[in-house]
Amino acid sequence: MDIFGIPLQAFLGQLLLGLVNGAFYAMLSLGLAVIFGMLGIINFAQGALYMVGAFAGWIMLTSFGINYWFALVLAPLVVGILGVVIERLFLRHLYKLDPLYGLLMTFGLAQIMEGLFRRQYGVSGESYPVPDALAGATNLGFMVLPNYRAWVVLASLVVCLSTWFLIERTRLGAYLRAGTENAPLVQAFGVNVPMMVMLTFGGGAALAGLAGVLAAPIIQVTPLMGSNLIIVLFAVVVIGGMGSILGSAVSGLLLGVVEGFTRVFYPQGSNVVIFVVMVIVLLVRPAGLFGKEA
């Protein structure tokens, strides 16, 4: 049986690989969406924070012997704290200005972080081994799926769902959303809004750090790994609807699949296809797939 001229087996294989990549897009754009949706900051440093997360995991393993599972908790914590520091030192001064200033600030910070790591570790990067418990592969009949990739999809789904639940379904999330709508009023009710904003930014940064640790065993840990991704992530967020958490998760997965199939049918176009989709979505639904029309 063939689907679009490719055998069913290959079709299923590519579908699954697309979902794996989509899981990364989903997790990374989630952090962007949280930060934009809640704080209105276009965080261009998200890619660099992802890179820092991967390096943090690698440094923990090689210098301190901290294994993958601990790094999975510790590295996002480190990146989250870095996010908090960035928010306190730089971004809080820019809230009154046009969002463009936040974009420029985070873009500059991303360049600096990348430059520092490039100076220290060079551009060839470092290799992070797949943890023993997840090494090996499972034969699914239509393809051999490395166990680690299956784990990534699972982890990403859990992270996306819990983030969505936290923001849309809990009291804390309600405060957060109210704080974005009308900060002075929420503050008047006794909620510490600046603290909440700081922690939200830290949380969004931690999500990038987590994605970094998850990606480390799959791709080479290099200072440039974030800047390769950041533009794609913005496209994912725009397609999903700026600031929509569900939107960025779903469109992340979807675009991973679209990109995967482009690699089969027209590989040269695989790094452009996401932007083609973005253009079409913006023409048809300017607010994005899940965005609310203004």
What residues make contact with other proteins under the rule CB under 8 A? 7, 9-10, 13-14, 17-18, 20-21, 118, 122-127, 129-130, 137, 143-144, 146, 148-149, 218-220, 222, 224-225, 228-229, 260, 263-264, 267-268, 270-272
Phi and psi at residue 100, to the nearest 5°? -60, -35
* Residue 40 Cβ vs other proteins, minimum distance, rounded to whole Å: 29
Distance of CA 81 to the CA centre of its chain: 17
Kindly tell me which of 27 and 197 has the beta carbon lying closer to other proteins.
27
Kindly tell me which of 30 and 149 has the beta carbon lying closer to other proteins.
149
* Residue 60 Cβ vs other proteins, minimum distance, rounded to whole Å: 18
* Residue 37 Cβ vs other proteins, minimum distance, rounded to whole Å: 26
Kindly tell me which of 118 and 177 has the beta carbon lying closer to other proteins.
118
Kindly tell me which of 21 and 200 has the beta carbon lying closer to other proteins.
21
Kindly tell me which of 10 and 72 has the beta carbon lying closer to other proteins.
10
Phi and psi at residue 83, to the nearest 5°? -60, -45
Q: What is the 3-state secondary structure (H, E, C) of the chain?
A: CEECCEEHHHHHHHHHHHHHHHHHHHHHHHHHHHHHHHHCCCCCCHHHHHHHHHHHHHHHHHHHCCCHHHHHHHHHHHHHHHHHHHHHHCHHHHCCCCHHHHHHHHHHHHHHHHHHHHHHHCCCCECCCCCHHHCCEEECCCCEEEHHHHHHHHHHHHHHHHHHHHHHHCHHHHHHHHHHHCHHHHHHCCCCHHHHHHHHHHHHHHHHHHHHHHHCCCCCECCCCCCCCHHHHHHHHHHHCCCCHHHHHHHHHHHHHHHHHHHHHCHHHCCCHHHHHHHHHHHHCCCCCCCCCC
Kindly tell me which of 47 and 243 has the beta carbon lying closer to other proteins.
47
* Residue 199 Cβ vs other proteins, minimum distance, rounded to whole Å: 30
* Residue 149 Cβ vs other proteins, minimum distance, rounded to whole Å: 8
Do the strands 2-3 and 6-7 form a parallel or antiparallel pair, or are they unpaired?
antiparallel
* Residue 125 Cβ vs other proteins, minimum distance, rounded to whole Å: 6
Kindly tell me which of 149 and 160 has the beta carbon lying closer to other proteins.
149
* Residue 155 Cβ vs other proteins, minimum distance, rounded to whole Å: 17
